[in-house]
Amino acid sequence: MLPTNRAMRACQSGANLYTTKRTRHLRIPPGAGSRKGTFGMDSFEFTKIAGAVLSALLLIFGTKVLIESTSGHHAEKPGYTLSVAPPAEAAPAPESAATADQVDILTLLPKANADNGKAVFGKCKTCHSSDKGKPNAVGPNLWGVVNRPKGHAEGFKYSDAMKSKGGEWSFENLSEFLRNPKTYVPGTKMVFNGIPNPQDEADLLAYLATLADTPVPLPK
- Spatial distance between the Cα atoms of 144 and 131, rounded to a whole number of angstroms: 9
Torsion angle defined by CA atoms of residues 200, 206, 212 and 215, in that order, rounded to the nearest 10 degrees: -170
pLDDT at residue 99 in the model: 53
Tell me, what DSSP letter sits at residue 138?
S
Name the CA dihedral angle for 109, 111, 117, 120, rounded to a multiple of 10 degrees.
Answer: -90
How distant is the alpha carbon of residue 118 from its chain centre?
A: 48
Dihedral of the alpha carbons of 166, 192, 198, 169, in degrees to the nearest 10: -20
Residue-level pLDDT at 176: 94
Q: What is the pLDDT of residue 57?
A: 74
Cα 26 to Cα 12, 18, 29, 36, 87, distances in angstroms: 22, 13, 9, 17, 97
106-to-90, 133, 207, 220 alpha-carbon distances in Å: 37, 29, 14, 9
Per-residue pLDDT of the chain in tens (220 residues, 90 and over written 9): 444 445 455 445 544 544 444 444 445 445 444 444 444 456 767 777 877 777 777 777 666 666 666 654 444 454 444 444 555 554 444 444 445 555 788 899 999 999 999 999 999 999 999 999 999 999 999 999 999 999 999 999 999 999 999 999 999 999 999 999 999 999 998 888 889 999 999 999 999 999 999 999 998 8
- Supply the pLDDT for residue 216: 96
Cα–Cα distance, 96 to 93 (Å, whole number): 9
Q: In terms of Cα–Cα distance, which of 172, 29, 164, 180 is closest to 99?
A: 180
- At 215 the pLDDT is 96
- The pLDDT assigned to 101 comes to 56
The confidence score (pLDDT) of residue 12 equals 53
What pLDDT is attached to residue 25? 46
